[in-house]
């Protein structure tokens, strides 16, 4: 099955054995009747498994070319489950330019529980080896990175991981499986904030994991059930519904993203524009190798380079909504330094380029002309 067909049918055979409904039913139930103690039809209690969530988990696995999917109450709950594979003394090497909430979870929760993190710029995969020792267990990669749109060569990092027998996890939230398939490039775990492009309509918060290996899946399933950070059946249904148009939305996100990136680059009041589609993007060769398109995420700074200049633009936008999050059908603008990345100390943040004038756009699927006219009036 090819990708576009998978978004609609992947893992969805026989989701309603009772009546044959085309869409998976929303099994809004916590428990399931048993004919005799232990005599059930595969479902006992909805923390352990729920048919609507199972349908979503199969869809996620299919989209990422994995064998097992697991859905959680948020992207961070999914990351939390991955981190619970480890114990005090273990070490993790992570991308240094990271979603703020992931950085907070790593440093404020798991560092306190005895796990040691190294935050490393991974544009050159060879640099990772300096940080590997006998306690190292996992490499955590986010690419494209948020909000600087750096690109990490997943295949090169996976060679390092395999050489040292480390697990490699990739946060595939920004690219989605439509643009990038990390399991095919050697990753062991895919993580998603399904809140973003997979859900696609800014109406749920959810996370997902996909793996190929049965033993790893069993460990993660144990944590999912034992810690209990699952998502409900209604939300599972909404994400399944969102996924059915993932390919259509992503195509338009890419087209509009390109138009907006070109407009910003040509605007005299704009300084830097971060978008992986530019031929002079420092990692453009890797982008072309591992992604099939450039997506709808763009960051930029103003020539004036002040907090005031960024604030003034985001306040004047009308079609773009000033809000956290990304990946929905509607265009959003964010100010990372005061919003998504406020939990990262200012000097840490500025080291990776998150300056006060940086604005991040999630370009939606509206008409391109309206988006550009909106940016034009706001930039002035
Ligand atoms: C939003 C996001 C997360 C966290 O997901 P939640 O669903 O908000 O918990 C993790 N990584 C990336 C890249 C994100 O954009």
Q: What is the pLDDT of residues 161-205, one digit of tens each?
A: 999 999 999 999 999 999 999 999 999 999 999 999 999 999 999
What is the value of pTM for the model shown? 0.96
Q: Which of 195, 230, 191 is nearest to 94 (CA)?
A: 191
The CA 72 to ligand 1 mean position distance, Å, reads 12
Q: What is the pLDDT of residues 71-86, one digit of tens each?
A: 999 999 999 999 999 9
Known catalytic membership, residue 87: no
User: Residue 213 — pLDDT band, cuts 50, 70, 90?
Assistant: very high
| Domain range list for the chain | 8-243, 246-379
- Which whole-number Å values give the CA distances from 306 to 163, 268, 313, in the listed order? 45, 16, 11
Q: What is the pLDDT of residues 53-112, one digit of tens each?
A: 999 999 999 999 999 999 999 999 999 999 999 999 999 999 988 888 999 999 999 999
* Rounded Cα gap, residues 300 and 310, in angstroms: 10
Atom of ligand 1 nearest to the CA of 325: 1
Known catalytic membership, residue 171: yes
Q: Which CATH fold topology does 8-243 show? A: 3.40.640
Known catalytic membership, residue 265: no
Ligand 1 atom 5: residue of nearest CA: 75
* Annotated catalytic residue within 80, 97, 153, 171: 171
**Is 292:352 a contact under the CB 8 Å cutoff?**
no
Choose the residue to mutate in 60, 81, 102 for probing ligand 1, maximizing ligand atoms within 8 Å of C-beta: 102
The CA 174 to ligand 1 mean position distance, Å, reads 9
* Annotated catalytic residue within 6, 58, 84, 196: 196
Q: What is the mean pLDDT of the segment spanning 350-367? A: 95
- Which whole-number Å values give the CA distances from 224 to 4, 49, 74, 119, in the listed order? 29, 10, 12, 26
Q: What is the pLDDT of residues 272-313, one digit of tens each?
A: 999 999 999 999 999 999 999 999 999 999 999 999 999 999
Choose the residue to mutate in 149, 151, 195 for probing ligand 1, maximizing ligand atoms within 8 Å of C-beta: 195
| Any atom of ligand 1 within 6 Å of the Cβ of 196 | yes
Q: How many CA atoms lie within 13 A of 19 on its CB side?
A: 5
Architecture of domain 246-379: Alpha-Beta Complex (3.90)
């Amino acid at each position: 099955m090819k990708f576009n067909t998978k978004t609609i049918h992947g893992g969805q055979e026989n989701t309603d054995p009772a009546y044959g409904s085309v869409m998976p039913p929303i099994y809004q139930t916590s428990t399931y009747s048993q004919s005799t103690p232990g005599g059930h039809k595969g479902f006992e209690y909805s923390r352990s498994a729920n048919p609507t969530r199972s349908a979503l988990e199969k869809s996620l696995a299919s989209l990422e070319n994995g064998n097992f999917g697991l859905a959680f109450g948020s992207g961070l709950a999914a990351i939390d489950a991955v981190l619970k594979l480890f114990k005090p003394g273990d070490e993790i090497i992570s991308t240094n330019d990271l979603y703020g909430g992931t950085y907070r979870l790593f440093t404020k929760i798991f560092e306190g529980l005895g796990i040691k993190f190294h935050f490393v710029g991974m544009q050159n995969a060879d640099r990772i080896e300096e940080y590997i020792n006998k306690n190292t267990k996992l490499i955590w990669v986010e690419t494209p990175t948020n909000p600087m749109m750096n690109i990490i060569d997943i295949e090169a990092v996976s060679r390092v991981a395999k050489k040292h027998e480390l697990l490699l996890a990739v946060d595939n939230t920004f690219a989605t499986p439509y643009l990038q398939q990390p399991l095919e490039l050697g990753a062991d775990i895919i993580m998603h904030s399904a809140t973003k492009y997979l859900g696609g309509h800014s109406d749920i918060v959810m996370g997902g994991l996909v793996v190929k290996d049965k033993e790893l899946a069993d460990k993660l399933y144990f944590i999912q059930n034992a810690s209990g950070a699952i998502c409900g059946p209604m939300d599972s249904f909404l994400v399944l519904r969102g996924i059915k148009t993932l390919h259509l939305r992503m195509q338009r996100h890419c087209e509009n993203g390109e138009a907006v990136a070109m407009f910003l680059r040509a605007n005299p009041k704009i300084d830097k524009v971060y978008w992986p589609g530019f031929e002079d993007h420092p990692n453009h060769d890797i982008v072309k190798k591992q992604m099939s398109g450039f997506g709808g995420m763009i960051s930029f700074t103003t020539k004036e380079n002040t907090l005031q200049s960024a604030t003034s633009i985001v306040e004047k936008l009308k079609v773009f909504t000033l809000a956290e999050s990304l990946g929905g059908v509607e265009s959003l603008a964010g100010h990372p330094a005061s919003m998504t990345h406020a939990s990262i100390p200012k000097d840490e943040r500025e080291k990776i380029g998150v300056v006060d004038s940086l604005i991040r756009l999630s370009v939606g699927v509206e008409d391109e002309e309206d988006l550009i006219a909106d940016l034009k009036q706001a930039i002035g």
